[in-house]
A and B are shown apart, each in its own frame.
Chain A
Amino acid sequence: MGDKADVWQGTLALMVLKTIEMMGPLHGYGIARRIEQTSGNLLSLNYGTLYPALLKLEQEGSIASEWGLSENNRKAKFYRLTRSGRKQLQKEARDWEQTTSILARFLSPSEDLP
């Protein structure tokens, strides 16, 4: 796995966690659709990459899954956020905001520099 894929995996995990936090328990397909919508369809998500990412988050204890019925009465696996997942989300969101704000300073240097 190259560097690019790693970064992508990292951001994907954050998107998944945030989406589940916003929407409550959700199945894989719902998460994928929601991520695309939230990105304003700018992001073309390969739905297949979502499932290994979900498995990884589940193994790390950030999310838990159980079978349930979808809105169309289809059997589907629903993922929900665990307490440690919520904590992880807060931490990662903070880290990400810091990273982007630092980068923003570089990309558009403001005038209040001494």
Chain B
Amino acid sequence: MKLLRAWALRLAGMLLQRGRERELADEIEAHLQMHSDDNLRSGMSPEQARREAILKLGGVESVKEAYRERNTVPFVENLLRDIRFSTRQLRKNPGFTWTAILMLALGMCASVAVFAFVDADADPAAALSESRPAGWRIRTCSRFVHDATSRILNTLTGRSSTKS
């Protein structure tokens, strides 16, 4: 339950990051000021007091980094950043984008068309309608595609060829 709560807050933390960031900066600043006040009282010079406070904190940026890592989910955050970056790149190169999309679409259409043929041919129900004058042209064509694909599939899977 406690873990669940912590994770929900971390996911929410990703959305509310900006406000959180400022709050953390304020908190660290307050910390540094209180620490340098104490250092001043113990007789340091103002610069030395400040430097000593930062040193003891271990660096302002590294604290912020560790805090951020705890406040958000770094994996999801990186993923979102990657997606944003790639969409930006795609938008910058419309020529490439459209070529890629067209290639993928063509490839998918071709595979779907071929396998639809094969499927129709291998379908046992289709064998029953053999006598129907459905046009031998399509059947011969599909037989040819079927033979070719099953040969390819057989070599790919390493099976001995099974004649239909």
Is B70 engaged at the interface, CB distance under 8 Å to the other chain?
yes
A70 to B30, CA, bound (A): 9
- Asked if A109 is at the interface (CB within 8 A of a chain B CB), the reply is no
Instruction: Count residues of chain B with CB under 8 A from any CB of chain A.
Output: 29
Total A-B Cβ pairs within 8 A? 73
Partner of A56, one of B27, B31, B70: B70
What's the minimum C-beta distance from B22 to chain A, rounded to whole angstroms? 12
- The answer, yes or no, to whether B6 is at the interface (CB within 8 Å) is yes
Give the CA-CA distance A55 to B27 in the complex, in Å: 12
Q: Are B2 and A28 in contact (CB under 8 A)?
A: no
Instruction: Please choose the segment from B51-59, B75-83, B88-96, B125-133 that sits at the chain A interface, where 4 or more of its residues have CB less than 8 A away.
Output: B51-59
Closest residue of B by beta carbon distance from A33: B38
Q: Nearest CB to that of A75 among chain B residues?
A: B30
Tell me whether B66 and A72 are in contact (CB under 8 A).
no
List the B side residues contacting A76 at CB < 8 Å.
27, 30-31, 34
List chain B residues, Cβ under 8 A from A28: 27, 31
Question: Which residues of chain B in 11-46 are interfacial with respect to chain A, using CB atoms and an 8 Å cutoff?
Answer: 23-24, 26-28, 30-31, 33-35, 37-38
Known contacts: A27-B30, A29-B31. The answer to whether A61 contacts B2 by CB under 8 A is yes
Q: A48 an interface residue at 8 Å Cβ cutoff?
A: yes
Chain A residue numbers with a CB within 8 Å of B24 are 51
Whether the pair B63, A29 counts as a contact (CB closer than 8 A) is no
Shortest beta-carbon distance from B28 to chain A in Å: 7
Taking a contact as CB atoms closer than 8 A, the residue among B34, B38, B56 that contacts A27 in the complex is B34
Judge whether A60 and B5 touch: CB under 8 Å. Answer: yes
Residue of B3, B27, B35, B38 ringed by the most chain A CB atoms within 10 A: B27
A19 vs B123: C-alpha distance when bound (angstroms): 75
Q: Which residues of A contact B146 (CB under 8 A)?
A: none
Residue in contact with A48 in the complex, picked from B9, B10, B26, B59, CB distance below 8 Å: B59
Give B29 Cβ to nearest chain A Cβ, in Å. 9
Would you call B87 an interface residue if the criterion is a C-beta within 8 Å of the partner chain's C-beta atoms? Answer: no
Interface pairs (6), CB distance under 8 Å:
A28-B27, A29-B31, A46-B56, A49-B66, A55-B67, A59-B5
Task: Point out residues on A near B: beta carbons under 8 Å.
Answer: 27-30, 33, 46-49, 51-52, 55-56, 59-61, 70, 72, 74-77, 84
